[in-house]
Structures are given as C-alpha cells and as structure tokens.
Structure 1
Amino acid sequence: MKLFRSCAAVLALTAASLALTANAQEVQQNASGDPLYTVQAPDGFAMIGDLLIARPLLIGATAIGAAAFVVSLPFSAMGGGIGAAGRALVVEPGKAAFVRCLGCTGDGYNQRQ
C-alpha cells in the first residue's frame, strides 16, 4: 500500500509541475530600467526543484554552519575573524535559504554598494 501511495504522490507532483506555465522570462526589468528593481521570473520546474531540493539542503547547511560557527568561535576570536566566520558559515547559507525568491538564483534583492 505504501508503494501505491508513493507512486501516486510522485505522479501527482509530476502532473502538477507539467501543468505550470513555463513561459516566464529569465530576467525582466521594470519601466525605469533601474537595476535595483530587477525581477527574476523563474519557471515552474525551477521553483519546484528549489522548494523540494535546494531549500531543505540550504536550511540544513545553515544549521550545520551555525553549529560550526559556535565550535570555531574561540579560534575565530583569537584570530579576529568572528565577522567573516559568521558571514561565511551562517549568514550566506541563511540568505540563500530564506531571502531569495523561490526558484531565483540571486538574493532576491540588489543592494547598491
């Protein structure tokens, strides 16, 4: 019975992903042409792959990075690299997991430097 439910769930997800429209453009710009407001419009397959594969892996990487940051904190403090270690181990995977839009490859926003 479990095999039947698993096959039915895979079939339903496949049918749902095929029903999504895939005519979105890769990158669109607004009428002002300002790159600050550049919007990505990924297709449905990218969104489903991001939701089912990439986001859980990135959330796990954020949790593992936080644990590694706590373990490496005394050594980072001695070397003066607490900020760099925090950004590399926690902030970057967290930003990729929680800030960017579903299926997008960027951060979800563009900041001016």
Structure 2
Amino acid sequence: MPATLSRILTTTVAVCMLAFASAGHANTINDAPSALEMTADAVIARPLLLATTVVGTAVYIVSLPFSLLGGNAGEAGEVLVLGPAKSTFLRCLGCDSSGRRQGGPANESN
C-alpha cells in the first residue's frame, strides 16, 4: 500500500510541475515594467542574482577539474556563471527576460 501511495504522489507532483511549467511559458513578455517592478528588481532581485553569480563562480572553480575530466566545462560555465551573470547585468530593470531591450519608451511613440 505505501508503494502505491508513493507512486500516486510522485505522479501527481510530476503532473503539477509540468502544468506549471507550461503556464509560465504561455505568459507574454512584459516590455513596460512598472515602478514597483523596477524597484523590487533593483533592491531584491539584482543583489540575489549577484550573490548567485558569485556562488556559481565558486562552485564552477571547485568543480572545474571534474568538469574538465567529464568534458562539460563549457556547459558548466554557462549554467553556473554566465546564465546568472546575464540575468544580473544584461537584463533591463524590471524585465522578466534576459538580454538588452531593443527600444525604449521614446521609440514606441514613433
């Protein structure tokens, strides 16, 4: 009986995770963040992302010998260092997606 309950619970969790992931991809990109979103991004998200970048760099350096032996040092660097760094430094303030914004509010009125 406990094995059956465990399987049901595992299946339920997996289905929920898949459902929430698809709902997150269905959202449109917010190109015009509000002042509250910009403030929260500057005060909360950016310092956390910077800390994630620093910790990821430390983990990458510690795991580098193993990554080199495994042949995935580039992939480890992308995930542990470059991904968080891009989110920290190359994302517009308050935006959800990484990368530079291709136009500003001045360009939208044209």
Q: TM-score, normalised by structure 2?
A: 0.63
Match of 1:69 in 2: 60
Alignment-mate amino acid for residue 81 of structure 1? N
Q: Percent identity?
A: 48
After superposition, give the CA deviation of every residue in 1:8-31 in whole Å (9 maximum; x if it has no partner): xxxxxxxxxxxxxxxxxx74xxxx
Structure 2: segments with no counterpart, 5+ residues: 1-28, 102-110
Does residue 108 of the first structure (1) align with residue 99 of the second (2)? yes
Matched, 1:57 2:48: yes
Q: What is the deviation of 1:107?
A: 1.1
Q: In structure 2, which of residues 86, 93, 101 is the aligned counterpart of residue 95 of structure 1?
A: 86
What is the distance in 1 between the residues matched to 2:90 and 2:37? 16
Alpha-carbon distance in structure 2 between the residues aligned to 1:108 and 1:62: 16
Q: Does 1:48 align with 2:45?
A: no
Tell me the amino acid that sits aligned with residue 33 of structure 2.
Answer: P
Aligned to 2:23: none
Unaligned runs of 5+ in 1: 1-25, 28-39
Equivalenced residue count is 73
Matched, 1:84 2:45: no
Paired residues of 2:60 and 2:76 also in contact (CA < 8 A): yes
Q: Whose helix proportion is higher, 1 or 2?
A: 2
With normalisation by structure 1, the TM-score equals 0.61
Alignment RMSD: 1.5
